[in-house]
Every structure is written in C-alpha cells, then in structure tokens.
Chain A
Amino acid sequence: NAGVTQTPKFRVLKTGQSMTLLCAQDMNHEYMYWYRQDPGMGLRLIHYSVGEGTTAKGEVPDGYNVSRLKKQNFLLGLESAAPSQTSVYFCASSYLSGGAGELFFGEGSRLTVL
C-alpha cells in the first residue's frame, strides 16, 4: 500500500552540484506533479505531467527539469543547484486532471543547498 514514494527524503548539496529526485506511484495515475514548499509561500507547482512521455511547466519551473519515461515514475532534476532551491519538495499524483481529482502526495524530500 505504498501510494506515492519519494527518494531521497533528505539531501544536502553544494552550490553547483546536480541531483535527481525520484517519485514513484503505484496507483496507475496518469497525472503527476512536482511542488516545492517554502515558509509563508504555500506549495508552488514546478512541473507536471499528464501522461507517460509528456511534461509541462508549472508556476516556478526555472532551474529544474523533469522526465516521465514510465507512467509510474516522475523524475525532478536540478542541473546546477543554487541556495534558492533549498526547500521541501513534494511529488503528487492524481487520477483526474487539474483540480478534478484528489492529489495524493509523497512524504516529501528536504533539500538543502549550501
């Protein structure tokens, strides 16, 4: 009964390093999302995917790339990490698009960029 699983849960990077966050869902959902959550800001959408092989930009896409090679996986990449990318990252999936369906979130990945 895993739902949405994110790895890693914690990571510390130095400025300029790269990394990939992995999101996996076992609910056969078409739609997947990456959000970041910062104090006082609420969750902001980085990128999303409406199905295998598709990706689209969200509200704050700069500095991030994504890929959805398999329906169950959605990867978020940081090519050259910056301190401004220190945040908690949440992956989510849904059965229906946009706001029609409930969002199921992973437990979050805490990233610190020094």
Chain B
Amino acid sequence: RKEVEQDPGPFNVPEGATVAFNCTYSNSASQSFFWYRQDCRKEPKLLMSVYSSGNEDGRFTAQLNRASQYISLLIRDSKLSDSATYLCVVNNARDMRFGAGTRLTVKP
C-alpha cells in the first residue's frame, strides 16, 4: 500500500466550478502536510501548507483530519490557469512522501 494515496483523476471541470481533491496517508506519525502544484513537464511548486485548523489562501482551502488521516484541497471558482496536477505531500518525520498526484483540467 502506498504511504500517500490520491485519486489520480483526471478531473475535468468547467470554469467557475468548485472542485475538491482528497488524499489519505498511512503513517500516523506524520507531522506536516502540504499541497504542491505541478504543471505539465515542469517541476513541483509549493501551493500551500495544511494546518490542523484548516487554512485558506484566496480560492484555495486546505483541510486536515488527523483522526481519519485525510487531507483535502478545495478550489473555488476554477480558472483555466488552475489546470495542473496537484500533489499531496506528507512529512513522515524522516522525509517527505509524495502522492502520485491528481490531474485537473479546467475547460472554458
């Protein structure tokens, strides 16, 4: 079983839609959590950290449920420029473990 699991998608949504991605992790000792964004054939870049109380950055909202070992990312009012692969990343106290990513395509 992979340590970090994501629905691979693809998610195809119209502009303006709200879309949510989920991620589960298996290591209960995991300490910190992140969402990275990766554009096609580019390097990953940090989108946002995920805090226990949940956090928001503009149209993006991240939630963490430690009891269920579950992380989510909500994107409101999707833009064409949001099209990318979103990587769930978990720190297992020794190193960072990456999910395989969820691909999002936002269409006009």
Q: Is the interface of B mostly helix, strand, loop or mixed?
A: strand
Query: Interface size class for chain A?
Result: 20 to 34
Q: Would you call B96 and A41 a contact (CB within 8 A)?
A: no
**CB–CB B42/A107 < 8 A:** yes
Size bracket, chain B contacts: 20 to 34
How far is A71 from B6 in the complex, measured between Cα atoms in Å?
35
Of B31, B42, B87, the contact of A43 (CB 8 Å cutoff) = B87
Partner of B101, one of A42, A44, A45: A42
Q: Is the CB of B95 within 8 A of A58?
A: yes
The reply to whether the CB of B20 lies closer than 8 angstroms to some CB of chain A is: no
Q: Mark B76-108, 1 if CB is under 8 A from A, else 0.
A: 000000000001011101111111110000000
Give the contacting residue for A98; candidates B91, B98, B99; CB below 8 A. Answer: B91
Residues of A within 8 Å of B42, CB to CB, are 107-108
Any A CB within 8 A of the CB of B43: yes
The residue from A40, A45, A108 contacting B95, defined by CB atoms under 8 A apart:
A45
Contact, CB under 8 Å: A103 / B46: yes
Residue ID in chain A nearest B101 by CB atoms: A42
User: Can you name 14 extra interface pairs (CB under 8 A) apart from A99-B32, A102-B46?
Assistant: A40-B8, A40-B100, A42-B98, A42-B101, A43-B87, A43-B98, A58-B95, A99-B34, A99-B90, A100-B32, A100-B91, A103-B44, A103-B96, A108-B43
- Give chain B's interface residues, CB within 8 Å of chain A: 2, 4, 8, 31-34, 36, 41-46, 87, 89-91, 93-101
